[in-house]
């Protein structure tokens, strides 16, 4: 599994960043995962790719 | 048999832990549950078809998986109505040193503590399964004791498919001291507890030379042996079927423990659940709009999930009513990971209710907490 793009997102009610939206090579779908989901395979993959320098998480809109 | 002998026999069986409670450690071993898809879907390092069985590969080849519905003859032989069918979709006729192709089944650490790995009392396990392929030869079962702060240990075991296109039942004994090693009975053999990844089993089609070790001997980095390649991955269209997978404590393969579809689905739902609309305007959940553009709703899963999940939907815009343009996980509501708040962006009546609702059939919301 390769994460292609990632971007933080906010909870509109509080304007706080709560998660990361991301895409993989699977087209036509959207994924979201909460921050600090440390035992989630996608979250771990995002962190790995960031550490490897192959992914940058974009700021929230 | 005398009464005393009967009681002695009962005690022996009970001591083997083979009739007490649930025997089969494999979830969905009968391949009944296939929430993601039932038709052929690429399995490249993904759960794509039957639940709990994942593709695991590295190299230029690829294979698909599908939930295969058995014929009457298949059922008579295996006692199973479904199987995982693997089909080579891109050939790899020259397995490089670092290449591998396998099916993986993962276990949580907490579910394996009764194996007593990491102690001198570590238990022997028995794996049994039905397999069929058009490609005969040697395949590999690999037991992967995940490191979890200790050491990863691997046990490769060869098994042979002798007759093409014929169901064969395989039984493999997994000894904690296989190869006369003490890796598993030593302290570093412990399986980490908790809800994380404790162990994997692989049904391997091909492993490159980087991963070769000695058959039926615990080691490090040894997923397979140097047995002659079976050639399964070398031709597009080659097929491999797997069902009736059972892993149990003890040295005897007992009959397959059939669980109802409902029981098996509930076990799978700890790792993955998928809500699918059967038609337009099907509601997933009801929300409260706190403005004309934003609102929240709560989605409950059938079972508490293993961990915080990933939520996946089709492209939100156009697939959900109320002009939804965004739908994201915003928090979890309980310690059991069973209730989740979804944040919606769309067109609402402020302070009114709205539905998180499909704008077509086959729209879905899935939650994934796989290992």
Work out the minimum CA distance from B328 to partner chain A, whole angstroms. Answer: 6
Which tokens belong to B211?
A: 């991963």
Of all residues in chain B, the percent with pLDDT exceeding 70 is 94
Q: What is the mean pLDDT of residues B134-160?
A: 96
DSSP state at residue B331 = E
Q: What is the mean pLDDT of residues B334-341?
A: 92
B343 contacts A12? CB cut-off 8 A: yes
B23 touches chain A (CB under 8 A): no
Q: What is the mean pLDDT of residues B13-31?
A: 77
Angle at the Cα of B357 (from B352 to B358), degrees rounded to 5? 155
Q: Are B264 and B318 in a shared domain?
A: no
Q: Are B121 and B205 in a shared domain?
A: yes
Q: How far apart are CA B241 and CA B84, in angstroms?
A: 6
B28 in helix, strand or coil? coil
Q: Are residues B292 and B327 in contact, defined by beta-carbon separation less than 8 angstroms?
A: no
A42 touches chain B (CB under 8 A): yes
Predicted confidence (pLDDT) per residue in B54-72, tens digit: 999 999 999 999 999 999 9
Provide the pairing of β-strand B54-58 with B41-42: unpaired
B298 touches chain A (CB under 8 A): no
What confidence tier does B16 reach under pLDDT thresholds 50, 70, 90?
A: low
Q: How far apart are CA B186 and CA B177, in angstroms?
A: 10
Q: Are B123 and B247 in a shared domain?
A: yes
Q: Are B34 and B155 in a shared domain?
A: yes
Query: What are B288's strand-pairing partners?
Result: B296, B353
User: Which chain A residues have a beta carbon less than 8 Å from that of B369?
Assistant: 40
B330 contacts A11? CB cut-off 8 A: yes
Of all residues in chain A, the percent with pLDDT exceeding 70 is 100
Q: Which of B214, B243, B269 is the last residue of a domain?
A: B269
Q: What is the mean pLDDT of residues B141-150?
A: 94
- For residue B330, the domain's CATH number is 2.40.30
Q: Are B21 and B93 in a shared domain?
A: yes
Q: Are B214 and B356 in a shared domain?
A: no
**For residue B73, how far is the Cα from the chain centroid?**
26
- For residue B111, the domain's CATH number is 2.60.120.260
A34 touches chain B (CB under 8 A): yes
Provide the pairing of β-strand B62-69 with B41-42: antiparallel
Residue of A1, A8, A40 to mutate when probing chain B, most B C-beta within 10 A: A40
Render the burial of B216-245: b for 16+ CB within 10 Å, e for the rest. Answer: bbbbeebbbbebebbebbbeeebbbbbbbb
A29 touches chain B (CB under 8 A): yes
Write the ipTM: 0.98
Q: Which A positions 7-26 lie with beta carbon below 8 A of chain B?
A: 9, 11-13, 18-19, 21
Element (H, E) at B249: strand B239-249
Chain B residue with the nearest C-alpha to that of A9 = B328
Q: Are B260 and B276 in a shared domain?
A: no
Which of A12, A13, A29 has the CB atom closest to B312's CB atom? Answer: A29
Number of domains within chain B: 2
Q: Are B180 and B241 in a shared domain?
A: yes
Residue B38's nearest CA partner among B46, B49, B29, B27 is B49
Predicted confidence (pLDDT) per residue in B203-250, tens digit: 999 999 999 999 999 999 999 999 988 999 999 999 999 999 999 999
CA separation, residue B338 to residues B300, B309, B326, B341 (Å) = 6, 10, 22, 10
**For residue B179, how far is the Cα from the chain centroid?**
27
Q: How far apart are CA B155 and CA B177, in angstroms?
A: 10
Work out the minimum CA distance from B4 to partner chain A, whole angstroms. Answer: 51
Q: Which of B269, B291, B308 is the last residue of a domain?
A: B269
CB atoms within 10 A of CB B3: 7
CA separation, residue A55 to residues A5, B338, B362 (Å) = 7, 30, 31
Q: Are residues B362 and B276 in contact, defined by beta-carbon separation less than 8 angstroms?
A: yes
Chain B residue with the nearest C-alpha to that of A15 = B330
Q: Are residues B279 and B45 in contact, defined by beta-carbon separation less than 8 angstroms?
A: no
Q: What is the mean pLDDT of residues B317-334?
A: 94
Q: Are B112 and B244 in a shared domain?
A: yes
N-to-C CA span, chain A? 26
Query: What are B62's strand-pairing partners?
Result: B90
- Residue B155 CA neighbour count, 13 Å, CB half: 24
Q: How many residues does chain B have?
A: 371
Chain B residue with the nearest C-alpha to that of A31 = B312
Work out the minimum CA distance from A26 to partner chain B, whole angstroms. Answer: 10
In the predicted structure, residue B155 carries a pLDDT above the cut 70: yes
Q: How far apart are CA B92 and CA B62, in angstroms?
A: 8
B30 in helix, strand or coil? coil
User: Which chain B residues have a beta carbon less than 8 Å from that of A31?
Assistant: 310-312
Q: How far apart are CA B216 and CA B222, in angstroms?
A: 10
In the predicted structure, residue B13 carries a pLDDT above the cut 60: no
Q: Are B59 and B207 in a shared domain?
A: yes
What confidence tier does B22 reach under pLDDT thresholds 50, 70, 90?
A: confident
B311 touches chain A (CB under 8 A): yes
A51 touches chain B (CB under 8 A): no
Which of A32, A41, A43 has the CB atom closest to B328's CB atom? Answer: A32
B46 touches chain A (CB under 8 A): yes
DSSP tally for chain B: helices H, then strands E: 3, 21
Q: How far apart are CA B59 and CA B65, in angstroms?
A: 17
In the predicted structure, residue B7 carries a pLDDT above the cut 70: no
B313 contacts A29? CB cut-off 8 A: yes
Q: What is the pLDDT of residue B12?
A: 56
Which of B308, B343, B370 has the CB atom closest to A11's CB atom? Answer: B343
Q: What is the pLDDT of residue B370?
A: 97
Q: How far apart are CA A13 and CA B331, in angstroms?
A: 12
Work out the minimum CA distance from A45 to partner chain B, whole angstroms. Answer: 12
**Stated pTM of the model:** 0.93
Residue B240's nearest CA partner among B173, B174, B168 is B168
Phi, psi (deg, nearest 5) at residue A48: -65, -45
Q: Which of B233, B249, B269 is the last residue of a domain?
A: B269
CB atoms within 10 A of CB B303: 16
Q: What is the mean pLDDT of residues A53-57?
A: 98
Q: How far apart are CA B1 and CA B8, in angstroms?
A: 11
Q: Which domain holds residue B348?
A: 272-368
User: Which chain A residues have a beta carbon less than 8 Å from that of B329?
Assistant: 18-19, 32-34
User: Which chain A residues have a beta carbon less than 8 Å from that of B332?
Assistant: 34
Q: Are B296 and B163 in a shared domain?
A: no
Q: Are B209 and B341 in a shared domain?
A: no
**For residue B329, how far is the Cα from the chain centroid?**
25
């Amino acid at each position: 599994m390769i994460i292609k793009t990632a971007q933080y997102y906010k909870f509109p009610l509080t304007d706080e960043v709560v998660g990361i939206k991301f895409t993989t090579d699977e087209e036509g779908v959207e994924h979201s995962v909460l921050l600090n989901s440390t035992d989630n395979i996608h979250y771990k993959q995002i962190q790995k790719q960031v550490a490897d320098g192959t992914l940058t998480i974009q700021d929230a809109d | 048999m005398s009464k005393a002998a009967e009681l002695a026999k009962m005690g022996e069986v009970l001591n083997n832990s083979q009739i007490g409670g649930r025997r089969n450690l494999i979830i969905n071993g009968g391949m009944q549950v296939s929430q993601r898809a039932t038709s052929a879907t690429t399995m490249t390092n993904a759960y794509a078809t039957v639940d709990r069985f994942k593709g695991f590969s590295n190299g230029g080849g690829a294979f698909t998986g599908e939930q295969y519905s058995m014929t009457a003859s298949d059922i008579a032989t295996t006692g199973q109505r479904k199987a995982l069918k693997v089909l080579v979709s891109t050939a790899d006729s020259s397995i490089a040193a670092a290449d591998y192709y396998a099916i993986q089944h993962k276990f949580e650490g907490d579910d394996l503590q009764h194996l007593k790995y990491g102690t001198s009392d570590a238990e022997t396990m028995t794996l049994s399964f039905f397999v069929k392929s058009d490609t005969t030869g040697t395949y590999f079962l690999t037991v992967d004791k995940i490191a979890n702060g200790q050491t990863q240990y691997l046990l490769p075991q060869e098994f042979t498919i002798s007759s093409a296109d014929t169901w064969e039942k395989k039984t493999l004994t997994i000894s904690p001291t296989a190869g006369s090693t003490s890796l598993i009975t030593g302290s570093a053999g412990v399986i980490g507890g908790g809800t994380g990844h404790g162990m994997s089993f692989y049904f391997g089609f091909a492993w490159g030379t980087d991963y070769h070790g000695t058959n039926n001997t615990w080691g490090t980095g040894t997923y397979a042996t140097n047995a002659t390649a079976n050639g399964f991955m070398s031709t597009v269209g080659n097929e491999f079927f797997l069902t009736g997978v059972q892993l149990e404590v003890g040295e005897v393969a007992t009959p397959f423990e059939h669980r109802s579809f409902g029981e098996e689905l509930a076990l799978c739902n700890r790792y993955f659940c998928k809500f699918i609309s059967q038609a337009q305007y099907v509601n997933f959940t009801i929300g409260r709009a706190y403005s004309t553009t934003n609102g929240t709703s709560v989605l409950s899963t059938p079972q508490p999930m293993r961990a915080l999940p990933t939520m996946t939907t089709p492209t939100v815009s156009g697939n959900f009513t109320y002009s939804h343009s965004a739908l994201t996980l915003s928090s979890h509501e309980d310690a059991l990971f069973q209730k989740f708040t979804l944040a919606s962006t769309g067109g609402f009546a402020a302070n009114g209710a709205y539905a998180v609702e499909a704008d077509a059939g086959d729209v879905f919301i899935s939650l994934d907490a796989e290992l």
